[in-house]
Amino acid sequence: MIWLGFILLAVVLVFGLVVFRGAPYVPSSKKYIHQALTELYPLNSTDLLVDIGSGDGVVLRQASKLGAQAIGYEINPILVYISYFLSRKDKNVTVKLADFWMTNFPPNTTVVYVFSVTRDMDKIAKRIQTETDRLGKKINLIVYGGQIKDMKSIKSVGAYCLYEFHSLQPVKPQV
């Protein structure tokens, strides 16, 4: 019985310690994700959506249903395993065990989805701007349940806001 206690403690620790790196696990509702990916930012097969803190991968699978490629970065290994299992038949979905603060987005990223805590929103905005500058292209950001203090959203639907990030640095010519 003691090993069961250790397993439970490990699970509680894995879920609990995440708060030092970002938001704890709370999944977005499928109905609202669909609304965000159709009414707020109409996703299509030319898109690559990145979910920073992808939980069980529900956003990734909804994005895939609309024909987009979707990649999720998730710090909790239990949730990464659950995502792998739930998305195993979906070729559009990739899930990586990674800390999104330390992970570069793929070059063809068009839209980023985030469901985070107010505490982190400004830091997330800086992170997205850094990646936008690095990639030298526009990146759209869908924020669920929060706002970025010093930026005006271009559209909102329900609890979602859409922001546009533009590259502030010219792309260096290849030599």
Ligand X SMILES: C[S@@+](CC[C@H](N)C(=O)[O-])C[C@H]1O[C@@H](n2cnc3c(N)ncnc32)[C@H](O)[C@@H]1O
Residue 100 binds ligand X, judged by CB under 6 A: yes
Residue 115 binds ligand X, judged by CB under 6 A: yes
Residue 109 binds ligand X, judged by CB under 6 A: no
Candidates 37, 58, 63, 71; binder of ligand X (CB under 6 A) is 58
Region class of 39: left (phi > 0), else alpha (psi between -120 and 50), else beta: alpha
Contact 166, 132 (CB under 8 A): yes
Q: How far, in Å, CA of 140 to CA of 101, rounded? A: 18
- How many amino acids of this chain bind ligand X (CB under 6 A)? 23
Residue 160 binds ligand X, judged by CB under 6 A: no
Q: Which of these, 169, 115, 120, 128, lies nearest to 149 by C-alpha position?
A: 120
Residue 32 binds ligand X, judged by CB under 6 A: no
Tokens of 76: 């909790």
Starting at the edge strand found earlier in the chain, the sheet holding 69-74 runs: 93-97, 69-74, 48-52, 111-114, 139-144, 160-165, 155-157
Candidates 22, 49, 80, 110; binder of ligand X (CB under 6 A) is 22
Residue 28 binds ligand X, judged by CB under 6 A: yes
Nearer to ligand X, 13 or 171 (CB): 13
Candidates 49, 71, 75, 95; binder of ligand X (CB under 6 A) is 75
Residue 26 binds ligand X, judged by CB under 6 A: yes
Candidates 39, 44, 96, 99; binder of ligand X (CB under 6 A) is 99
